[in-house]
Amino acid sequence: MKILITGHEGFIGKNLAMFLEKDNELFGYEWDPEFLPDVSVYDWVIHLGAISATTERDIDKVMLQNYEFSKWLYNECNTHGVNLQYASSASVYGISTNFNEDAPKQPQSYYATSKYLFDRWVMQQQHNIIVQGFRYFNVYGPLEDHKKDQASPITKFFKQAQETGIITLFEDSDKYLRDFVYVGDCCNIHRYMLKTTETGIFNIGTGVATSFQTIAELIAKRFNAKIEYVPMPKKLIGQYQEYTCADIERLSNIVNINFTTPKDFIDGK
């Protein structure tokens, strides 16, 4: 197949390109308002490009790149009969305990809001194509170092343990749990879904939540590192998610995958 990947220089984009390059003809695109891609020549567009920083405060910038461009891309695909996969985010659920795809949404950042608005807009359209939206939970894995403060806790803790021998953790981190999903598993889901005719929005997680404390202890054990605790910054109190765990029933009805656990990854298995 001939596939265009937007955001191909990003964390998931780089991993996905390497994962798909053997059996497909791949092309990449990075955001440039002066040069928009001709999607008509592709079989699929995989739209991963976005301003992903949850701390971005320029809402016009976020809405232009994450929402308006995504709508343009969808319309081009729908007009030319090109199937579309796109990246959404579990951040659309906000501070919640219900992570079913149809659960109420409570986005807490401009990034999350832009993702929710596009999800909502897509669901209102009349599709002539296959459209698959993927709500990623906490994706981790190789090629993430460039994200710095936006990198997953697993990548951050690895870096701290290797470089300083000390992992810095918020107090009470045994109470903060996330659904950590390995990027290789995400790529495998993308590849499998390319072969289906399924349309819809799907949570991309493992259905299992692991605490930050557990992650830090596993990494500390591997590298013989220490854990130091710091108070949570005041700006995060009241808006820091205590828990995320994907409801993957919809995905599991289509894809059968044996997910990599954080322990497997940390132990190098």
Predicted local confidence at residue 133, as pLDDT: 98
Q: Each residue of 74-103: pLDDT tens digit?
A: 999 999 999 999 999 999 999 899 999 999
Whether the pLDDT of residue 72 is over 80: the answer is yes
Q: Each residue of 12-40: pLDDT tens digit?
A: 999 999 999 999 999 999 999 999 999 99
Which three-class secondary structure state does DSSP give residue 64? helix
Percent of all residues in the chain with a pLDDT value above 70, rounded to a whole number:
99
Please state, as a whole number, how many other Cβ atoms lie within 10 Å of the Cβ of residue 11.
24
Predicted local confidence at residue 18, as pLDDT: 96
Q: Which of 147, 159, 192, 243 is catalytic?
A: 147
- Confidence bin at 55 (pLDDT 50/70/90): confident
Q: Are 94 and 86 in contact (CB under 8 A)?
A: no
Q: Each residue of 121-141: pLDDT tens digit?
A: 999 999 999 999 999 999 999
Whether the pLDDT of residue 236 is over 80: the answer is no
Whether the pLDDT of residue 148 is over 80: the answer is no
* Cα–Cα distance, 252 to 206 (Å, whole number): 10
Predicted local confidence at residue 238, as pLDDT: 65
DSSP string for residues in 70-98: HHHHHHHHHHHT-EEEEEEEGGGG-S-S-
Q: Each residue of 161-181: pLDDT tens digit?
A: 999 999 999 999 999 999 999
- Confidence bin at 54 (pLDDT 50/70/90): confident
Q: Each residue of 243-260: pLDDT tens digit?
A: 999 999 999 999 998 999
Whether the pLDDT of residue 218 is over 80: the answer is yes
Whether the pLDDT of residue 150 is over 90: the answer is no
Q: Name the average pLDDT for the chain.
A: 94
Q: Is 140 labeled as catalytic in the residue annotation?
A: no
How buried is 207 (Cβ within 10 angstroms: 0-12 exposed, 13-18 middle, 19+ buried)? middle
- In order of 74, 90, 112, 176, 207, the CA distances from 85 in angstroms are 10, 16, 18, 31, 21
Predicted local confidence at residue 128, as pLDDT: 95
Whether the pLDDT of residue 183 is over 70: the answer is yes
Closest CA to 225 of 269, 177, 160: 160
How much is the average pLDDT of 237-242?
Answer: 72
Q: Which of 74, 111, 136, 140 is catalytic?
A: 111
Q: Is 147 labeled as catalytic in the residue annotation?
A: yes
